[in-house]
């Protein structure tokens, strides 16, 4: 009996293999944000995805061998604290246990060294928050013509009634200091974000006050504009 030729596709069908390609999840959409030296990558959740893979490669790109990946489970964001000068491309893929999607859009970032020049005169407004000093939240105090001196990352702020010192890392300014206020001494820490253009900042303060007998503490919001 003469045997008829069977095509490979027919043989696969007989063995139970599907002739349709296995569907993989759609790619996520990727964004990122920078806070000082901390970078946060965020992406959209993909229906049917059970895990995600974040890939990164240094800038300048030198080839596929420079790409590294990190599986982050079912998270839809990932943060890492890096170093000044760090520069990377990033992309993310969605997985469903059977395979991974194509890459998302490719994003990139560079953490530049502190280049903001904050030297000059600043007008600062403090808005009181929760406290136990019998001050109503929302009460505002203005510190006009606070003088800021900068040497590299080191910052000194001179107020009419006190002094603060700290550091600028990326766009995050941290200051600690003391002020003579209401017959006592206020000690404080400021955590501020310098806005694009380097002519304004905003953030928060934690503080305590004492006159040697009575003590209290609280929190405030801070905003500043370069004069």
- Reported as a pLDDT band with limits 50, 70 and 90, residue 113 is low
Please report, rounded to a whole number, the percentage of residues in the chain having pLDDT higher than 70.
87
Q: How far, rounded to the nearest angstrom, does the alpha carbon of residue 8 sit from its chain's CA centroid?
A: 54
pLDDT of 12 above 50: no
Q: Which long-range contacts (CB under 8 A, 24 or more apart) does 159-165 make?
A: 162/186, 164/188, 164/190
Can you give the pTM of this predicted structure? 0.54
pLDDT of 8 above 50: no
- Reported as a pLDDT band with limits 50, 70 and 90, residue 1 is very low
The DSSP code sequence of the chain is: -PPPP--HHHHHHHTT--SSPPP-PPPP-EEEEEETTEEEEEE---TT--EEEEEEEESSP--GGG-EEEE-TT-SEEEEE--TT-EEEEEEEEE-SS-B------EEEE---------EEEEEEEEEEEESSS--TT-EEEEEEEEEEEETTEEEEEETTEEEEEEEETTEEEEEEEEEETTEEEEEEEEEEEPTTSSEEEEEEEEEEE-SS-EEEEEEEEEEEE-
The predicted structure's pLDDT at residue 18? 39
The predicted structure's pLDDT at residue 144? 62
pLDDT of 27 above 90: yes
- Pairing type for strands 68-71 and 51-58 reads antiparallel
pLDDT in tens, 36-55: 789 999 999 999 999 999 99
Q: 116-120, 195-199, 215-219: which has the minimum mean pLDDT?
A: 195-199
- Rounded distance between C-alpha atoms, residue 200 and residue 223, angstroms: 7
- Reported as a pLDDT band with limits 50, 70 and 90, residue 3 is very low
Q: Confirm if 83 and 71 have CB atoms less than 8 A apart.
A: no
Task: Compare 44 and 13 and report the one with higher pLDDT.
Answer: 44
The strand pairing partners of 172, in sequence order, are 169, 193
CATH code for the part of the protein at 120-226:
2.40.160.30
- Pairing type for strands 107-110 and 120-131 reads unpaired
pLDDT in tens, 132-184: 888 888 888 777 668 999 988 899 999 889 999 999 887 889 999 999 988 99
Task: For the chain, give every domain's residue range.
Answer: 8-110, 120-226
8-110: what fold?
Answer: Immunoglobulin-like (2.60.40)
Residue 179, burial from CB neighbour count under 10 angstroms (0-12, 13-18, 19+): buried
């Amino acid at each position: 009996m003469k045997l008829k030729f069977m095509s490979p596709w027919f043989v696969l069908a007989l063995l139970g293999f599907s002739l349709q390609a296995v569907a993989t999840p759609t790619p996520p959409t990727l964004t990122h944000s920078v806070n000082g030296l901390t970078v946060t990558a965020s992406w959209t959740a993909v229906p049917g995805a059970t895990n995600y893979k974040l890939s990164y490669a240094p800038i300048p790109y030198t080839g596929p061998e420079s790409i590294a990946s990190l599986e982050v489970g079912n998270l839809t964001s990932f943060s890492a604290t890096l170093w000044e000068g760090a520069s990377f491309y990033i992309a993310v893929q969605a997985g469903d246990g059977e395979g991974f999607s194509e890459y998302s859009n490719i994003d990139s970032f560079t953490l530049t060294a502190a280049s903001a020049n904050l030297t000059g005169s600043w007008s600062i407004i403090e808005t009181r928050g929760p406290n136990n000093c019998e001050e109503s939240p929302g009460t505002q105090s203005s510190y006009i013509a606070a003088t800021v001196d900068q040497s590299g990352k080191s910052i000194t702020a001179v107020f009419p009634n006190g002094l603060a010192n700290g550091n600028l890392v990326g766009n995050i300014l941290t200051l600690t200091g003391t002020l003579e206020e209401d017959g006592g001494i206020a000690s404080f820490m400021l955590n501020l974000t310098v806005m694009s253009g380097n002519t304004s900042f905003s953030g928060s303060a934690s503080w305590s006050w004492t006159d040697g007998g009575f003590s209290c503490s609280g929190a405030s919001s801070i905003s500043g504009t370069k004069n």
